[in-house]
Amino acid sequence: MECAVYDTYVTKRDGKTMHFDVIVDSSTPHEKALEYGKEYLKDAGQDGQKMTQEECQFCHVQEAPKIVEENIQQNGYFIQKMEGCP
């Protein structure tokens, strides 16, 4: 499966930055990737933080590793946590 990777930086309530990738099927519209990112923010206790196309930018397309592909098939997306994520 080819997946699209959206590089995302969101300012948390404490002023620190969360850096994560929203990874979706390559045919998924950017608006849907934003929705998934906002869903993750809610799950991370950061509901309502600003997340627009400015914070969540398309980065590249790549072949999805098996675990990522399975998550996308189950949930529609995969979050790759990097910095400042719970």
What are the sequence ranges of the domains in the chain? Answer: 2-83
DSSP letter, residue 14: T
Which residues neighbour 65 within 8 Å (Cβ) at sequence distance 6 or greater? none
| pLDDT single digits (tens) 5-23 | 999 999 999 999 999 999 9
What is the pTM (predicted TM-score) of this model? 0.95
pLDDT of residue 70: 98
Residue in this structure with the two tokens 């098939």, named with its chain if needed: 73
DSSP letter, residue 45: T
- Do 79 and 17 contact (CB within 8 A), yes or no? no
Backbone angles phi, psi at 71, to 5 degrees: -65, -40
CATH number of 2-83: 3.10.510.10
| pLDDT single digits (tens) 41-53 | 999 999 999 999 9
